Amino acid sequence: MSQAQIPRREFIRTAACAAAALTPIGTGAGPAGAPTVKPPRPRAITMWDFSWIERRWPGAGYEDWPQVLDEALERGYDAIRIDAFPHLVGTAPEKEWTLLPVWYVQDWGSPAINKVRLQPALHEFIGLCKERGIMVNLSSWYREDVDDTRMRITSPTVQAEQWKSVLAGIKEAGLLDAILCVDMCNEWPGAVWCPFFRNDPPELTWGGWHTETSQRWMREASESVRRDFPELPVSFSFEPRDVSKLVGADLGYLDFADPHLWMAQANGGEFYQLSDYKYERFNLEGYKSFVEKGEALYRSKPEYWQELLRQHILKTAAAFKSFKLPLMTTECWGVVDFKDWPLLDWQWVKELCRLGVETAAGTGQWVAIATSNFAGPQFRGMWRDVQWHQSANELIKGSAILPELHGTKQVQRLGT
């Protein structure tokens, strides 16, 4: 019987059982009980950011966690990246927090003021993932609440202690084996996500991860978490932008790298500049321009934009190869911002995303790969194309990981 002939609920149940029963890497049995080595394979990961708990009003996409997790499994995803809100959980886990919108233009999170209670919701969500064999990548976008609690993070020690509080609770709940890794801050040190950090020079926010001040903070915070939770891979995600900054860097304090890579940001952001899109968060002018220019620009010379994406990925892979750091990319591949909108078509976005998946998977350096940053139920035009997700995720999970990465903590974590 083909996959298409299996009833949806039965397919999900069977896939969940298979995922939950994955044999850890390096174990198994061959003929007559002889041990065999199971080669590690990448995880297919999707980013549900802070939407997993913020977007729970009727029609927002995440009202029914079991249902949307079953849908993720049906589409082939076996890992999810979410915001653990460490600054809020570490302060008052069961408090009802009032969050301010980071934007109303985009469809991640809430477009207006909202209230969330993070515990026991976080443990409940991770537990539902564990039941399905879906591993969880914990991250944080350090969402702003009405008291701006994130600004109390005055040192890497404070940041680390908050994360350790979150992880201790997860361990006590018996859920630590469901955690794939910890990304201590999304796109460090982007100004929107970590305003508590002041770089040197201060104007280096997006893409400014490489400074001595930034690396000192990342090193101290990650090493502190690692001392208490040595089994968990720890890192900071970032936008590499200029990979030449990696030359001579000491990245030994990271267990993996999560570079966020898009065609739209390659070559100094050429595509968005020509589209007159400026990442507007609280007005729609950028989308109006994008309707007029975006797809037409791509269709005018698709080979050029495709090659720009391909080279962006390959140059990033080459820059990281000497560090022997596993790569996982959770936000990618074509344009940064997109949504269901009049006169916007997902087809060309999916073309670029498929190319990104193929290129990254072909390097052997990626141990977890996203299909895009739109792989969630609120992006209906992307989410409803079940077959597209299945095909891309089959490619991801069928690809190989370079042998020299097999012994790294992040690769060993893939099969737990």
Q: Which two tokens stand for residue 227?
A: 């001392």
Determine the 3-state secondary structure of 75 from DSSP: coil
Structure confidence at residue 5 (pLDDT): 38
Q: Please give the average per-residue pLDDT across 210-237, as a whole number.
A: 97
76 has a pLDDT exceeding 70:
yes
CA distance 204 to 160: 23
Q: Please give the average per-residue pLDDT across 94-116, as a whole number.
A: 98
pLDDT by residue (tens digit) across 305-314? 999 999 999 9
Band (pLDDT 50/70/90 cuts) for residue 21 is very low
Q: Please give the average per-residue pLDDT across 75-93, as a whole number.
A: 98
Q: Please give the average per-residue pLDDT across 370-379, as a whole number.
A: 98
Among residues 143, 148, 66, the alpha carbon closest in space to that of 110 is found at 143
Q: Please give the average per-residue pLDDT across 97-121, as a whole number.
A: 98
Say what percent of the chain tops pLDDT 70. 91
Q: Please give the average per-residue pLDDT across 79-95, as a whole number.
A: 98
Q: Please give the average per-residue pLDDT across 314-335, as a whole number.
A: 96
Q: Please give the average per-residue pLDDT across 399-416, as a whole number.
A: 92
For the chain, counts of helices (H) and of strands (E)? 14, 13
Structure confidence at residue 243 (pLDDT): 87
Determine the 3-state secondary structure of 409 from DSSP: helix
Compute, in degrees rounded to 10, the torsion defined by CA atoms 387, 105, 259, 227. Answer: -110
Band (pLDDT 50/70/90 cuts) for residue 172 is very high
CA distance 80 to 32: 37
Topology (CATH) of 3-413: TIM Barrel (3.20.20)
Return the domain boundaries, the chain.
3-413
For residue 244, give the DSSP letter.
G
199 has a pLDDT exceeding 50:
yes
383 has a pLDDT exceeding 50:
yes
Structure confidence at residue 248 (pLDDT): 84
237 contacts 230 by C-beta, under 8 angstroms: no
- Range of lowest pLDDT (27-36, 121-130, 356-365): 27-36
Q: What is the rounded average pLDDT for all residues in the chain?
A: 92
- pTM for the structure as a whole: 0.91
The more confident residue out of 241 and 382 is 382
For β-strands 79-83 and 135-139, DSSP reports them as parallel
Structure confidence at residue 242 (pLDDT): 87
- Range of lowest pLDDT (12-26, 56-70, 263-277): 12-26
125 has a pLDDT exceeding 50:
yes
20 has a pLDDT exceeding 70:
no
Structure confidence at residue 36 (pLDDT): 63
Determine the 3-state secondary structure of 275 from DSSP: helix
